[in-house]
Every structure is written in C-alpha cells, then in structure tokens.
Amino acid sequence: MSIRVRFAPSPTGELHIGGARTALYNYLVAKKAGGQFILRLEDTDQERYIKGSEQRLLDDLLWLGLSWDEGPDIGGYHGPYIQSQRLKIYQEHAQKLLASGEAYYCFCSEDRLQTLRKEQTASGQPTKYDRHCLSLNKEQIKNKIKEAGKYVIRLKIPDGFTQFTDSIHGQIKVDNQTIDDQILIKSDGYPTYHLACVVDDHLMEITNVIRGEEWLPSTPKHVLLYQAFGWTPPTWTHLPNVLNTQRVKLSKRKDGETVWLSTYRRQGYLPAALINFLALLGWHPHDNRELFTLAELVKEFDLARVQKAGAIFDLDKLYWFNAQYIKKMEITTLDKLLKDFYPQTKFNTLPLTQILQTRLTTLAEVKTIAEFFFVDQVSLTKNKLIPKDSFLEDTIKALGLSKEKLSKLTHWEISALQNCLTNLIAEYNFTRRQVLWPIRVALTGQEKSPDVFDVLWALGKERSLVRIERALSLLT
C-alpha cells in the first residue's frame, strides 16, 4: 500500500515554525516513499477561527516549496478536505458509536463540570468526568434532548490497558483508568479534534500519522476510537517539540510573532534556508553534512534518525544558513529577490547586489547596508572624513588626487580602480588608509561599508566623482 500522510493545521492563526517542521517531515516521508502528502484544514473550533488564515497557511506552505497532492484548494478522491464541510460524516460516525454503546449522551452543564473538576482537584483526585449521564435510560435521554436540546456525545473508555507503538518513542502502554471519557461531539454539533481526526485519517486512508508530541497523551484515546470503529490504526509518529530558549514549547502566547513563519519571510529569509534549518532541528543525517536542498532531503531523510528530545529554535544557526544560501544564489535571482527590499530607484542595482552578496545574511539588511546607494547625498562631517593618524591637508590632497586620477579612467572596472588608486598611493607615498578611508566616507557617509573599490564600481563613475567632489568642498 502506498504511503499517505497529512498535515492538518487549524485556521486559527499563521503557520507556526513547529507546524512548518511537522509539514516538512510529513512531506519528506511521503516523497521519499513515492506516496501522497495531503493537506487538511481542521476548523472545528468556531471560536478560535480566524478569517482568512487558511489562505495564509496555504501560501506559506507553498512558499516553502511544500506542495500537496490532495487538499482543500485542489480537491482529491477523499474530499472535502475542510472539516467544517464534513460535519455529517462525523455525526454519522458518532451515531454508530452511540448505537454500539461505545459512546453516550451527556447533558451536564459546563458549570457542573467545572465544580466537579474543582472538587476533584481540591481532594487530590485526578480530574475526570464522573459518568453522571452514563446511567440515563433511553426514555430519559429522549426527554432531555427534547427539553434541553443541547448535549454532547462522549466516548465510553473501556476498562483495561491501551497499547501502541510510536516510531520514535517505541511501545507505550497506558492504564485506561487514567483516560477521561472524551467528548466526541460538542454541543454545537461540531466534532472535537479527537473524533474528526480519527474519522478523517481513516477515510482518507492515512497510513502514517506524523504530528507534534503534544498529541502523545491523547493517542490512547485515538487508538481506542479505532478499536471502537473496528478500524486498523495508522503508524504513529510523535515529533519532539520545538522549544524557545527557555526550553518551553514555542507558542504564540509566550513567544509572539517569532513563532510565525511569515515573520522570517518578511525579514528576508529564504525558503531554502528555512527548510534546511528546520530539517536539522531534530533530525540529522548519518554523516556530518549540513547543507541540503529539499530534493536532497527527500533522498536522505529518515524518521528513524529523528531525535527524541525537544530542540531549541536557534536563530543564530538559521542566520548562518540564510547567509550560506544567499552566497550560493545566482546573482540575477538574488537581484530580483532584493527588489522587494530595495527602495524604488532608477539606477541599475545589479552591481550593488553583486557587491552585497557575501555580506548579507537576510535580504532585509540591505536597508541598512546599502542605504548609501539609494540616497542622493550621504551625510558627511569633516571629522569623519579625516582618518585616524592623518590630517586635514593630507586628506584634502588624497581626495583631490584621487578625484583627478579617477576622472581620467576610461574603464570603470574593479581591477582598473584598484590599479589606479594603488599607483596613486605609491606615487605620493600615502598609506592606504590615508587615501581609501576618506573615499569610503565620501561615498557612503559611513565608517563601515563594503570594500571601497566595490563601492566605487557599484556607484559608477559619475556618482562617485560627484560625492568625492562634495567631500572635498566640505573640507576646503
């Protein structure tokens, strides 16, 4: 049977870093086995639903390069792929469990449940539904439904033990006594995650459930549901959590927008870098290789080599990966990408892109590094122009001679610029700093910048000479 996996986010916000990694691992498992990667939207919580978030979820996934074989937008043989459009299916399945006695109606108010929980906590008992409504007979149930109209359907957890194998954690065995009678259908008629995901995974013929570790404690409930329906459960895989620097599971509430993939997208991180970084967050190949494209990951990835312990999201490493991918990038591609971050300009930015390639770690950094290129005038002061260990007259002389020599250059190429100024330095017995420092400041207005020859070249002859001239007039 062909491998089928799914990524099933809730449209309650944006794609989360941890979610992106889960999606990636699912994708890799599917593609490596030549199977299918399915996308399903789990929108059963009406209160937390955020309008428009499903589209952003799809966009982010696509941006990463993780395309699906079946999903809400493209359909497939097992649709619909949006849970709110499958309510009838869940109702029918809940009815089946009701009929076989594996589930029961519950009419308890939220107030009663809350006080029950409070009492249990106070007396040191585990919090668990007390099966108050289990003893209701058919007549009573009928009446209650008529009276109240509202009810939930609960799974009746049988006695005994529940056992399953997780492909990362191994055998897990749980005493059913510790499992609560899970609500399957809420009073608004929507299913809870537990029912919906089991029913869907079965109907969509999912063979391997790969999800976050937070689901490990509820997996016994899911196994019990499979048993109640008489279905064969999938292979279970629970991925370790992605942690913040406090070693706590990354979450919107605690970590804010840093958990969103779109945050990194906006800052100019590349999908290839994110993919590579995420892949290595909890997984490692058999050798010391670090750089992987998505296609290479498909070949190399193996769930058996996934880590058991949670991994801290380390921004430094992502930063490094991004720089690596920027350096490797085709220059015209990079220039095109940078257009989104460069201000509007009539100048050709390709030379600028070229000199920035080895200096960028994120695309957004051009806004600070390359400001000099886009402004008409840079801000200069006399003091800044004069290098340490030098003097006003020397600086005026150096700039004046530079201007004169440079203006005579016919080929404005980096090697020619180097020759020109190197000769000047030798001829007049300058130190390199005495000449190059004031030129840098004249061109960029800054004490830190890319290589002077690079800047001269990127700016072009005309703009460079105008700036040197202006610096000169400031000094004299």
Partner RNA sequence: GGCCCCAUCGUCUAAUUGGCUAGGACACCACGCUUUCAAUGUGGCAAUUCGGGUUCGAUUCCCGAUGGGGCUACCA
Is there binding between residue 202 and RNA (CB under 7 A)? no
Give the residue, chosen from 22, 44, 162, 349, that forms a contact with RNA under the rule CB under 7 A.
Answer: 44
Is there binding between residue 320 and RNA (CB under 7 A)? yes
**In which residue are the tokens 């260990």 written?**
389
**Gap between the Cα atoms of 143 and 166, Å rounded:** 44
Q: Which amino acid is at 18?
A: G
DSSP 159: S
Give the residue, chosen from 174, 329, 378, 424, that forms a contact with RNA under the rule CB under 7 A.
Answer: 174
Q: Which of residues 274-303 bind RNA (CB under 7 A)?
A: 280-284, 286, 288, 290
**In which residue are the tokens 């191994």 written?**
170
Is there binding between residue 10 and RNA (CB under 7 A)? yes
Residue 338 token pair: 């940078």
| E-only strand ranges, 296-342 | 311-312
**Gap between the Cα atoms of 322 and 354, Å rounded:** 17
Is there binding between residue 175 and RNA (CB under 7 A)? yes
CA 32 to chain centre: 22
Is there binding between residue 426 and RNA (CB under 7 A)? no
Please report how close the Cβ of residue 252 comes to RNA at its closest, in angstroms: 11
Please report how close the Cβ of residue 216 comes to RNA at its closest, in angstroms: 5
Residues in the interface with RNA (CB under 7 A) total 83
CB closer to RNA, 288 vs 344: 288
Return all residues near 156 (Cβ < 8 A) that are at least 6 apart. Answer: 101, 102, 103, 104, 134, 181
CB closer to RNA, 44 vs 207: 44
Is there binding between residue 362 and RNA (CB under 7 A)? no
CB closer to RNA, 242 vs 294: 242
**Gap between the Cα atoms of 394 and 415, Å rounded:** 25
Residue 400 token pair: 């004046």
3-state secondary structure 430-458: CCHHHHHHHHHHHHHCCCCCCCHHHHHHH
Is there binding between residue 45 and RNA (CB under 7 A)? yes
CB closer to RNA, 32 vs 317: 317
Please list the residues that pair with 467 across neighbouring strands. none
The end-to-end CA distance of the chain, in Å, is 83
Letters for 366-395 (x = contact with RNA by CB under 7 A, - = none) are ------------------------------
Is there binding between residue 215 and RNA (CB under 7 A)? yes
Give the residue, chosen from 81, 440, 468, 471, that forms a contact with RNA under the rule CB under 7 A.
Answer: 440
Q: Which of residues 241-270 bind RNA (CB under 7 A)?
A: 241, 243, 246-249
Is there binding between residue 142 and RNA (CB under 7 A)? no
Contact predicate 222/197, CB 8 Å? yes
Please report how close the Cβ of residue 311 comes to RNA at its closest, in angstroms: 3
Q: Which of residues 327-356 bind RNA (CB under 7 A)?
A: 327
* Residues taking part in catalysis: 252
Is there binding between residue 411 and RNA (CB under 7 A)? no
Residue 110 token pair: 């939220």
CB closer to RNA, 252 vs 346: 252
Contact predicate 378/467, CB 8 Å? yes
**Gap between the Cα atoms of 251 and 18, Å rounded:** 9
CB closer to RNA, 346 vs 385: 385
**Gap between the Cα atoms of 264 and 255, Å rounded:** 14
Give the residue, chosen from 1, 122, 309, 426, that forms a contact with RNA under the rule CB under 7 A.
Answer: 309
Pick the stretch among 229-237, 314-322, 343-351, 376-384 that binds RNA (CB under 7 A): 314-322
